[in-house]
C-alpha cells in the first residue's frame, strides 16, 4: 500500500508552476506544463534526441538577437 497515492493528491497545484490544477490536464495546470514535465521526464530517463517538430506555436528560441538593424 502506498501512502502517496497520485490520485489522492491530484487536486493540488501544478508541480511545474504551482498554479491550480486543471482537471483536463491533471496533474498539471495546462498542456504547456504537462509538456514541460514530459520533456523533463523524457530527457531524464530516455536519452533520446528529441526530434523538433515544426509546431507553429509562434515561439522560437532566441539564439541571437543580433538580427535587427
Question: For binding to Zn ion (CB under 5 A), which residues are involved?
Answer: 14, 16-17, 19, 29, 33
CB of 49 to Zn ion, least distance (A): 26
Residues with Cβ within 8 Å of residue 30, at least 6 apart in sequence: 14, 19, 22
Nearest to 41 by CA among 28, 23, 54: 28
Nearer to Zn ion, 12 or 19 (CB): 19
CB of 20 to Zn ion, least distance (A): 9
Cell 490544477 identifies what position? Answer: 21
Residues with Cβ within 8 Å of residue 20, at least 6 apart in sequence: 13, 14, 29
CB of 26 to Zn ion, least distance (A): 11
Amino acid at each position: 500500500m502506498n501512502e502517496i497515492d497520485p490520485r489522492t493528491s491530484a487536486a493540488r497545484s501544478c508541480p511545474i508552476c504551482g498554479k491550480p490544477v486543471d482537471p483536463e490536464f491533471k496533474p498539471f495546470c495546462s498542456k504547456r506544463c504537462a509538456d514541460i514535465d514530459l520533456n523533463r521526464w523524457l530527457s531524464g530517463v530516455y536519452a533520446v534526441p528529441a526530434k523538433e517538430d515544426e509546431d507553429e506555436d509562434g515561439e522560437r528560441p532566441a539564439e541571437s538577437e543580433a538580427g535587427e538593424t
